[in-house]
Amino acid sequence: MFEKRRISASKCNLVSSSDFNSCIDSHDYGCQPQGNVYLSGVPSCKQLGLVLPDGLLQDILSFCDGVTLAKLVQTCREFYVIGHQPELWRDLVLIDSQDHALVNVGDCWKDTYILQQKLQCEHRSHKPMKIPGFFSDHFYQTHLCRSFVIPNEWLTVENGTVDRIEGISIQEFLENYEIPNQPVVLAGACKNWKAMNWKYKEYLLQALQMEKKRSLRATSGAASFASYFTVESYLDYCQSNQLEEAPLYLFDREALLDGPLREDYFPHLQRDCPYFDPSRTKENTHDLLQLLGENRRPDHSWLIIGPQRSGSSFHIDPNATHAWNATIVGRKRWLFYPPGQTPPGIHPSSDGDDVIMPISVGEWLTKYWDAHVERCQTLPLTEQPIECTVQAGDIVFVPHGWWHSVLNLDAPYNIAITHNYVSKSNLSNVLRFFESKQSQISGCRDRPGVALQPEEIGAEFQKGLRQHYPTWLQQAQQTGKWTCKAWEDKKTEKASNQKNIKKWESGRKKKRSRKENNGSSVLAKSKQQE
Amino acid sequence: MAAEVQTVNNISLVSKEGDSFEVSEDVAQMSELVKSLMEDNDTEEETAEIPLRNVKATVLQKVIEFCQHHGEEPMTEIEKPLRSQKMADVVQEWYANYVDVEQVVLFELILAANYMDIKPLLDLACATVASMIKDKTPEEIRTRFNITNDFSLEEEAKVREENKWCEEA
C-alpha cells in the first residue's frame, strides 16, 4: 500500500567532510601533503619541483611517450613518483587504442601499456616503491580523490531522504511523482526480472558477445579520450580494482535496443512498471519520442557498468527527459538537487551551454560536502537536496530538470540499465528545449544520416504528435513558458559568477561544454556515467 | 551617409616592473586571465590597463609576440605523445624557432602561460621541455636538467630492473 514519506534532510545521517577527507590507503609512492615537510624530519626530494609547480610538471610529462617516461622514472626520486602517476599511463593506453578494443588489461595502467607493446622480453608487474621525502598537495589531492573513505553509516538503504516505496500503481506513480516531478525509489521493482542474471559474468558475456564482437565504449571525466573494451576486458578492468579518480565508466547505447539483453527485462518492465512501459497504448503512453522511430530518435537507453568509485558528477539529463534507472548489480548512492538549485561547486554559464565543475565525484565529496550539508540544513524543505542508496532490484525515477550525481559503491562492478523518455508531464518543456536549446540537444550528432539532427528533431516530433496526440500537443504548446526551474530564464547573475570562479577556485576544475563535441555532448556523457 | 569608423580597442598590459605594452583587444583576449579581468574593468576608457604583477617585462614581451603571431598563423595542435624530439616536426616553423631559447626562459614562459591562462602557449612550452627529455638515457636527462641522482642503491637497482622493457620497445 502506498504511503508517502518525506523526511527532512536534517534528520538524515549526513556524516561530516572529515570522513571523506581521509584515505583508505597511504599513497602508493609515499606522497604526503606539502605541510608534512615541516613535521616529518625527512628532507624533501623536490628538484625541478622547486622551479615548476607539480601540476605543470605533470603537464610536461603528458607529452611524453612510454619509453621516455620509463627512462625518466630512473633519473631521481621526484620523477619516479611523478612519472608513475597512473593518469599518464592511462592516457598513453587510450591514445593507442582509439580504433580497436583493449583486450589485455594489467593490474595497473603502466602494466596495461607494456602489455600493449607486445614485447618479447618477459616483464613483471609494476611494484610501487614508497619514496621518502615526496611532499605535494597537488599529487596528494589526486590520491585523496581516488581513495577517499566511503563511510558505511552514510550508505545504508535506510539512510535517505528520497521516498522509498514498494508496490505502486500507475495512478499513484503519476499523481505523486511523475507529474509533480519528484524522484522516487521503487524498492524491489526489478528484483524478479530475468536481467538479474546479468550478475553472473558468464551470462553477461554470452549475451553481449552473441552478436558481432562489438567494442564497448567507456569514458571518464578525468580522461581526455574515450576507451574501448570488449566485455571481458572491461570486467577484468573492474576486477583489477585499481584506485583511480573517476574510473572509466562503460555504457553502451546499443546493447538494449534489441537482442537477448532487451528480452531479459522488457516484458518484465511492462508487467511490473507499466508507468515506464514504452509500448503505446491508448491511455498509458510513455516514451513519446518513439514517434520519431527507434533509429531516428536520440540515444535513449543504456547498459551501464562501472567499478567501485566510478560515478557521474552532477548533471541534468539530456533533452529535458525523464529517466528511470534499474540497478541490476551493486549499490549506488544518489544525490539530487531540485531544479533551479545548482549544487555547490557546479557553475553553469548563463545560457547553460557550459558547466565548470570538479572532474570527479571524489573531488566533489572531498571539497564540497560541508557546503552540501549546509544546504541540507538551511534551505526550505522543498528546495533541499535529497539522497538515497539503491540496491540491486531497485529502480530510481529521475524527474526531468533535477541535478543528480551517482557513486557506485561495490566491487568488482555495478550494473544498471536506464531509459530516458518523454511523457505528457514533461512534453511542453521538451518541445521548448528542442526549439530554444538546439546547441544542447544530444545523442544524435554522431549518427548523421541515421538519427535526426538537432535542427530537425523539434519539427519532426511535432509532426508525430499532431498525428497521434493532437490534444496533448496543443496543451503543451499553450503552456507558453518553461514549467521547470531548470530552464527558467535567469536574470543576469551570469558572467560575474563565471569570472569569479576563474579567479578564486582551484585549477582542478574542468570546464565541460554541454554542446556536443565529436558527436556526443558531455552532458550526454555525464548521463552515461550513472 | 557617414562612413563607419572601426574603433580598434587597445589594451595596455602592465608588467611586474610597471612597463606598459599596448596590444589589440583580440590579442589580449588570448589570455583567459586578461579576458576575465577586462570584463571586470567595464569602463568606458579607450585603453584599459591590465596589471600582470607576476610577469616580468622581458617575458611579457615574449608572450605578446606569441599571441600576435597566433592571430595570424594559429598554432597546430600538438599531438600527444610527441612523435619526435624536434619541435619543427610537431609544430610550425615559426613556433619551433620561437621556443628555441634558454631553459630559464622556457620555464618562465611556462609559468607566465599558466598564470595568464594561454593554453596554446602552455602546450607549446611544455611540449618543448618534453622534447628535451625524449630519446635520452636517464643519465643524459639528469645532465640536461641538472638533476641529482638521489636514489639509494637498492632503489636504483629496482627501478632499472623493472624498466628493462624500455630498452626493447
Averaged pLDDT for residues A83-95: 94
**What is the spatial distance between Cα A57 and Cα B47, in angstroms, rounded to a whole number?**
36
CB within 8 Å: A76 and B131: no
Give bridge partners of residue A407 from the DSSP assignment: A311, A333
Stretch A518-529: mean pLDDT: 32
The least confident of A162-171, A429-438, A457-466, A509-518 is A509-518
- Mutation site, A73, A75, A81, A113, interface B, largest B CB count within 10 A: A75
Average pLDDT of chain A is 85
Report the chain B residue with the minimal C-alpha distance to residue A117: B169
Q: How far is B15 from chain A (nearest CA, A)?
A: 19
Query: Which of the given ranges, A69-73, A267-271, A514-518, has the highest pLDDT on average?
Result: A69-73
Residues 6+ positions from B122 with CB-CB distance below 8 Å: A59, B110, B113, B114
CB-based contact (8 Å) between A62 and chain B? yes
Measured CA distances, A354 to A156, A292, A495, A511, A522 (Å):
34, 28, 12, 7, 9
- Residues of chain A neighbouring B168 (CB-CB closer than 8 A): 119-121
Interface of A with B in 6-25 (CB under 8 A): none
**CB pair distance less than 8 Å for B163 and A73:** yes
Please calculate the CA angle A372-A378-A382 and round it to the nearest 5 degrees.
90
Strand order in the sheet with A395-398: A164-165, A184-186, A395-398, A322-329, A414-421, A301-306, A249-252, A216-219, A227-229
The partner residue sitting opposite B160, judged by closest CB among A62, A74, A503, is A74
Higher pLDDT, A294 or B154: B154
CB within 8 Å: B130 and A45: no
Size of interface A-B (CB pairs under 8 A): 125
What residues 187-206 of chain A have any CB closer than 8 A to a CB of chain B?
A: none
Sign of CA dihedral B160, B163, B164, B169: negative
Residue B94 Ramachandran class (φ > 0 left, ψ -120 to 50 alpha, else beta): alpha
DSSP letter for A131, please: P
Q: Which residues on chain A are in Cβ contact (under 8 Å) with B129?
A: 60
Question: Of all residues in chain A, what percent carry a pLDDT higher than 70?
Answer: 87
Q: Which of A438-452, A505-519, B52-66, B92-106 has the lowest mean pLDDT?
A: A505-519
Distance between CA atoms of residues B104 and B122, nearest Å: 15
Amino acid letter, residue A276: F
Would you state the torsion angle of the CA atoms of residues A263, A267, A268, A270, taken in this order, to the nearest 10 degrees?
140
d(CA A23, CA A109): 21
Q: For residue A283, give every residue at least 6 positions away whose Cβ sits within 8 Å of its Cβ, in sequence order, or none.
A: none
Of A139-153, A304-318, B44-58, which range is least confident? B44-58
Q: What is the mean pLDDT of residues A326-337?
A: 96
A107 touching B, CB under 8 A?
A: no
The answer to whether the CB atoms of A124 and B169 lie below 8 A apart is: no
CB within 8 Å: A92 and B160: no
A121 interface with B at CB cutoff 8 Å: yes
pLDDT given at position A495:
43
> How far apart, in whole angstroms, are the C-alpha atoms of residue B109 and residue B58?
10
Q: What is the DSSP letter of A174?
A: I
B48 near B12, Cβ under 8 Å? yes
Chain B nearest C-alpha distance from A101 (Å): 20
Residue numbers in A near B91 (CB within 8 A): none
Q: Which chain A residue lies closest to B114 (C-alpha atoms)?
A: A56
**Is residue A72 within 8 angstroms of chain B, CB to CB?**
yes
By Cβ distance, the residue of B129, B148, B160 closest to A60 is B129
Q: pLDDT tens track of chain B, all 169 residues?
A: 555 555 567 899 999 999 999 999 999 999 999 988 887 766 556 668 899 999 999 999 999 999 999 999 999 999 999 999 999 999 999 999 999 999 999 999 999 999 999 999 999 999 999 999 999 999 999 999 999 999 999 999 999 999 999 988 7
Residue A42 forms contact with B (CB below 8 Å): no
Inter-chain residue contact B138 with A72, CB threshold 8 Å = yes
ipTM of the complex: 0.94
Q: For an interface test with A, give the residue of B29, B33, B80 to mutate (most A CBs within 10 A).
A: B80
Nearest-by-Cβ selection for A71 from B39, B122, B137: B137
CB A73 within 8 A of CB A54: no
User: CA A73 to CA A81: how far, in whole Å?
Assistant: 7
Chain B residues whose beta carbon lies within 8 Å of the beta carbon of residue A64: 81-82, 130, 133-134
Q: Closest CB to A48: pick one of B82, B145, B149.
A: B145
Q: Does A371 touch chain B (CB under 8 A)?
A: no
Q: Which residue of A has its CA nearest to B79?
A: A63
Q: What is the largest CA-CA distance in chain B?
A: 84
- Whether chain B has a CB inside 8 Å of the CB on A495: the answer is yes
Supply A428's cell numbers.
511542453
For the ranges A156-165, A273-282, A289-298, B52-61, which has the lowest average pLDDT?
Answer: A273-282
Q: Which residues of A touch B87 (CB under 8 A)?
A: none
Q: What is the predicted pLDDT for the residue at A4?
A: 46
Q: Please judge whether A73 and B32 are an interchain contact, meaning their C-beta atoms are less than 8 angstroms apart.
A: no
Q: Do A67 and B166 touch (CB under 8 A)?
A: yes
> What pLDDT, on the 0 to 100 scale, is given for residue A24?
77
**Residue scoring higher pLDDT (A469 or A504):** A469
The string of pLDDT tens digits covering residues A172-206 is 999 999 999 999 999 999 999 999 988 888 888 88
The alpha-carbon gap from B71 to the nearest alpha carbon of chain A, in Å, equals: 24
Residue B158 region by backbone torsions, left for phi larger than 0, else alpha for psi between -120 and 50, else beta: alpha
- Which of B39, B133, B149 lies at the smallest CB-CB distance from A72? B133
Find chain A residues with C-beta within 8 A of B131's C-beta: 63
Using the beta-carbon criterion (under 8 Å), do A75 and B158 form an inter-chain contact? Answer: no
Angle between helices B103-116 and B32-40 (to 10 degrees): 40
Confidence of residue A494 (pLDDT cuts 50, 70, 90): very low
Q: What is the DSSP letter of A176?
A: I
Mean pLDDT of A368-392: 91
Higher pLDDT, A55 or A515: A55
Least confident of A323-332, A477-486, B103-112, B144-153: A477-486
* B169 vs A53, A63, A119: nearest CB: A119
Task: Test A52 with B107 for CB contact under 8 angstroms.
Answer: yes
- Interface-testing mutation among A46, A51, A57, A60, with chain B (most B C-beta atoms within 10 A): A60
Matching residue, cell 567507456: A218
Q: From the CA of A84, how many Å to the nearest CA of chain B?
A: 11
Euclidean distance between CA atoms B22 and A398, whole angstroms: 53
